[in-house]
Amino acid sequence: MATCAQPPTSFASQADEITFWKSEATRYREITEEVQQELQEFRECSEEFERELEMQLEQNEKQVKELKQQNTSLTFECETLKERYEKLQAEHFKQVTHLQKEVDKLTVANSELVKDVRELEQRNDDLERTNRVIIVSLDDFEQRLNQALERNAFLESELDEKDSLAITVQRLRDEARDLHHELSVRQHKPVERTKSQDGEGHSVEAMNAKNTDEVIMPPPKTPSTPNGKKTFANGIHPICTPTKLQLPETPKMKGDFNS
């Protein structure tokens, strides 16, 4: 609620005084209306509160009646339950006596089971130790197996390489044998020519010397003998071998030839 303002002691003009008192009248009128509205709301709230109290009173009276009835029924039930309780207590005593005997029996059985559990725990510890030893042995065996597998794979790769080199060597030997055969054929042809030309006065020695002069040429990079030249039983040098047979000698090939 707004407080009353003190009017000024003097005004500048009569219009200011009229304006001031009009505003004060308007303010007091608003205050009065607000107070009347609050009073009306208070009356309404009071009436509503009274109605609620009356309703609660009626409800409480009904509840009191119901509680009295419940009290009567509960008293009867209490007496009934008391009798049942006495009977149940007697039966409970008998059951407790019987259960006590069973507890004694179970205690004895439990002590035996505890002994069995201890023995089983001891066996379990022994099995765990054995299991750890087996696991360590399996790890060691697995490492050895991995190493053996790696070594086997390496040996298999070397064996495959050796087989391929053996095939290459066999092919080279077959080509050398074919070349030797071709060389022997070429060496026999000049001899036949010399026999056919004996009527013309050419001797076999001259033809052999001619053929020797034609055949003896510096061969390109062929496998050498300890003397530095490769010759056959008749003392004739072989003709030049094809360049495809002049393959570089690898350490693996050396090992195969030595074997």
Which residues lie below 8 Å from residue 1, measured CB to CB, with a gap of 6+? 31, 34, 35
Are the beta carbons of 247 and 255 closer than 8 angstroms? no
**Location of structure tokens 């570089």:** 248
Question: Which residue stretches of the chain have pLDDT < 50?
Answer: 1-2, 200-259
Which residues lie below 8 Å from residue 34, measured CB to CB, with a gap of 6+? 1
Hey, what's the torsion of the CAs at 218, 219, 220, 224, to 10 degrees?
-110
Residue 111: alpha-carbon gap to chain centroid:
47
Are the beta carbons of 169 and 253 closer than 8 angstroms? yes
Question: What does the pLDDT read at residue 119?
Answer: 92
Question: What does the pLDDT read at residue 220?
Answer: 41
Can you give the length of the chain in residues? 259
Question: What does the pLDDT read at residue 65?
Answer: 92
Q: State both tokens at 181.
A: 């055969």
Burial degree of 11 (CB within 10 A; 0-12, 13-18, 19+): middle
pLDDT, one tens digit per residue, over 124-155 is: 999 999 999 999 998 988 898 999 998 888 89
User: Would you say the C-alpha torsion 53, 56, 62, 63 has a positive or negative sign?
Assistant: negative
Which residues lie below 8 Å from residue 99, measured CB to CB, with a gap of 6+? none
Q: How far apart are the first and last CA of the chain?
A: 125
Are the beta carbons of 165 and 253 closer than 8 angstroms? yes
Question: What does the pLDDT read at residue 24?
Answer: 87
- pTM for the whole structure: 0.27
Mutual orientation of helices 14-196 and 251-258 as an angle, nearest 10°?
40
